[in-house]
Amino acid sequence: MTAQAVAATARPRPARAWRAVLRLHQPALFLWGVFVTLVSAVLLWAYGPGGNAAGAAWRRKCTVDLCDLEDYSVDRYHLAFRFSEAAIDFLPILVALWAGGMLIGRELENGTAELAWTQSVSPVRWLATKLAAPAALLTAGTTLLVGLHRLLFDAHQVPKGWNWTDNGTFETNGPIAIAFPLLGLALGALAGLVVRRAAVGLMVAVLATGVARSLVLWASPHLWPWRTDVSALPDGYPPMKAAFHGGEGAVTSTGAHIPDPCGTAEKACLAAHDIVGHYREYHPSSQFWPLQLTETALILTVTALAVAAAFTLLRRRTA
């Protein structure tokens, strides 16, 4: 067979699918770049000149109980920190909106997905690329933001105002913030495949992501064993600490932990219920990484289930 014949019978090499995804969703790619750049700039400002100005103002004009700052340096510093947390926390909802509406729902509604399946891209490869390319970009961008947030938190130059257990701070200080956008992507894709409409898909995706995120945050403190402090009856409850707080109550003479029926004042009530002390459950700061990793594992498990459901649904519809 001649070289011309071989060239004539050879199948043309299909274009790389991930490049097609990036070209098709250039506006989303541009907005993602703007988002990462903006939040990174805010964090770097707070870590550098903003933090230096806030620290100097605090040392110059603040006491333990009073802070008189006319230049608002500390306020701007705290605002930058909280803004970055709010932006990163809201990211899973934005990703779900885009995935359910633009990434999957719109292509199924317009028929462009079916057209691609009749060309050189199989349905499975189509969906795999649709998920893999955004997942890589999301992981890279959020990893950068989490690293900068952690850098700013560790170098905090004002001795009051931030706690590792604060809403948003805990999630943004570790891999949880990297895993949540992937969950939004997976649930958004699944929603788009289920409803096959852009507008409805984005609404279902946001609802599913919001519910899943709330359930994960509710369950996460219970994924790791609580540490328990017990105090004798005259001492009242164990002191509060900078920690995630769980349950608290009374301790009987047998060592049982029960809800406190009396408080600490009524001696007759305490004797009647055989109460000899009190307990308090909490997660100390030493359990930061176990809590981070167990919650991340839970998020990634739900993400994997959503991805598996999306591929199963796609196979059944295109069999």
Q: Where are the domains of the chain?
A: 17-222+288-318, 223-287
Residue 13 has what pLDDT? 45
Rounded-to-integer distance, Cα 180 and Cα 141, Å:
13
Cβ distance 223 to 294 under 8 Å? yes
Residue 14 has what pLDDT? 45
To the nearest 10°, the Cα dihedral for 90, 96, 97, 100?
180
Q: Which residues does the chain have with pLDDT short of 50?
A: 1, 3, 5-15
pLDDT per residue as tens digits for the range 101-133: 777 878 877 777 777 777 777 888 888 888 988
Residue 213 has what pLDDT? 93
DSSP string, 140-164: HHHHHHHHHHHHHHHT--SSSS--T
Tell me how far CA of residue 57 lies from CA of 52, 135, 160, in angstroms.
9, 42, 13
